[in-house]
Amino acid sequence: MKRLVFAAACVAMGMVMAQESAPAPEAMAQEKCAIEEKDVDTMMDEFISSKGWTEGLNTKPDGSKFFIAKGSGVVQAPRNSQQYISSRVNAFNKAMLEAKKAMVEYLGVDIATETQKAYAEGSAVNPKPTEAQEVAGKLKQFLFAKINKKLAEEGIDPIKNPAAAKAALGKQLNSEQYKKMISTMARAQVLGFQACCTFEGTPSDGKGEIGVVAIWSPKLQAMAASIVTGAPVPPVGAKRPIRDQISSDPATLISTFGVQQKIDETGDLVLVAFGQAGGVSESKMSAKAAQTKARQNAMAAIREFAGEQVAVATDTLEAESTEEFENGAEVYENESSMKEKIAATAARMNIAGIAPLKNFKFKHPINGKMVYGSIVTWCPKQAGQARALKRTMANPTATSGSLRPNPAGGAAAPASGRSFNAAGQGADDDAF
């Protein structure tokens, strides 16, 4: 097994035997470990297992419930492309859609099925629409190659002379057709759904993936509701300042996406959103634009956390047919198809109090392209302060005392053939 030369942060990945004895996740984020080359599904499964969780609904020791889902997305851009970094962001968003799909389908899914089987022999065998279509379709089948060879030996061109080809095949003795169609649909409002931990895996000889283990809990939903209503959220046990909880390790930062709820030094719950973007070139203007896009991605994560309408539609078809001919030939055809659409819609919403925490930039170890990152925060206290400031600015004669918040508002050089595996910064277990 290859060892990664690029050190990754050992976030709240569960390198412990029991959840109760684990150190605080923000402390674990500072530890270092070598991560072996693994696919993201393996990394996600190991993380979930190490926590003692299972996919789906889980129960805490105090009896409260929380829901775990996972998803992954492929980085489609070539690794040497200037758009590789942006494609990683797309891969994370696709991964989150998959996780949201799991949540929505758990809440309720409409399922429809249709299964058909038909058998015919002798004169009851239904003919194909045309002789040309019949012969051309059979030529595509593996077993028909033998028949085609026989026809050629007899000087028959099945394309130019389909009638002669049909006659050479002999009478169709029997046929069987089977088809099963499965259709599922699900739709639900999803709020308070956060990225618990994200993972990045790029093998040395293939496309990379971004994986996410996502979580919902009543505590997270209460914070999402606060964004909409302005209702205060009760404080919990105090921890370190949020800035001190953010890892400085490049591998950790560039592999962290989405929003996480954390606890600050006063015990207040705080949303911390991580956004990333890549530049279209290496110029300073491009870098500035990428930083702006990264901030937008971070703010979008907060909006999505506040609530989305998620709709999922999946159609699957499995079909096969067998035809037997007088000369002993048998033709087998198989058709398999799947179509899936996942849509998550968040309408426009005014969110006051989103504040910048930190910007960063690091070269991605796979191709040396710069990753621009932006970290922003939101909490009810900040929202109240922002609304108070807005009122003050709208009234130039107001005193400075009006600024009191409304209590209700509450790098490595690129190398070809390299692999890269990393885990992003883990969420705080105590915060959800």
- The residues, ordered by sequence, that sit 6+ positions from 398 with a Cβ below 8 Å of its Cβ are 391, 392
What pLDDT is stored for residue 169 in this prediction? 61
Residue linked to tokens 């621009």: 372
pLDDT per residue as tens digits for the range 18-60? 333 343 333 333 333 334 578 999 999 999 999 999 999 999 9
Residue 168 has pLDDT above 50, yes or no: yes
Q: Identify which of 219, 224, 221 has the alpha carbon closest to the alpha carbon of residue 236.
A: 219
Are 1 and 411 spatial neighbours (Cβ–Cβ below 8 Å)? no
Other CB atoms within a 10 A radius of the CB of residue 37 amount to 15
What pLDDT is stored for residue 223 in this prediction? 97
In angstroms, the Cα distances linking 270 to 33, 243, 258 are 28, 11, 14
Structure-model confidence comparison of residues 247 and 172, the more confident one:
247
Measured distance CA(58)–CA(422) in Å, rounded: 26
Residue 198 has pLDDT above 60, yes or no: yes
Q: Are strands 420-423 and 370-378 parallel, antiparallel or unpaired?
A: unpaired
Measured distance CA(50)–CA(69) in Å, rounded: 15
Q: Identify which of 113, 157, 36 has the alpha carbon closest to the alpha carbon of residue 318.
A: 113
Are 274 and 257 spatial neighbours (Cβ–Cβ below 8 Å)? yes
**What sign does the CA torsion over 71, 104, 380, 294 have?**
positive
Strand partners, 214: 69, 195
Q: Identify which of 343, 198, 221 has the alpha carbon closest to the alpha carbon of residue 276.
A: 198
What pLDDT is stored for residue 429 in this prediction? 76
Q: Where are the alpha helices (DSSP H) in 230-368?
A: 242-245, 250-254, 284-306
Residue 298 φ then ψ, to 5°:
-65, -45
pLDDT per residue as tens digits for the range 311-357? 999 999 999 998 887 767 777 888 899 999 999 999 999 999 999 99
Residue 354 φ then ψ, to 5°:
-75, 120
Q: Which helix (H) or strand (E) holds 334?
A: strand 330-345
pLDDT per residue as tens digits for the range 377-417? 999 999 999 999 999 999 877 655 555 555 444 444 444 46
**What sign does the CA torsion over 216, 309, 291, 363 have?**
positive
Q: How many Å from the N-terminal Cα to the C-terminal Cα in the chain?
A: 35
The b-or-e profile of 179-206 (16+ CB within 10 A means b, else e) is eeeeebbbebebbbbbbbbbbbbbbeee
- The residues, ordered by sequence, that sit 6+ positions from 71 with a Cβ below 8 Å of its Cβ are 94, 95, 96, 97, 98, 99, 100, 101, 102, 211, 212, 214
What pLDDT is stored for residue 323 in this prediction? 84
Mean pLDDT of the chain: 82
Q: Are strands 32-33 and 56-59 parallel, antiparallel or unpaired?
A: unpaired
pLDDT per residue as tens digits for the range 93-134? 999 999 999 999 999 999 999 999 999 887 555 555 555 555
Mean pLDDT of 250-271: 95
Residue 163 has pLDDT above 60, yes or no: yes
Residue linked to tokens 């996942």: 342
The tokens of 95 are what? Answer: 């991964």
Ranking 51-60, 68-77, 201-210 by mean pLDDT, the lowest is 201-210
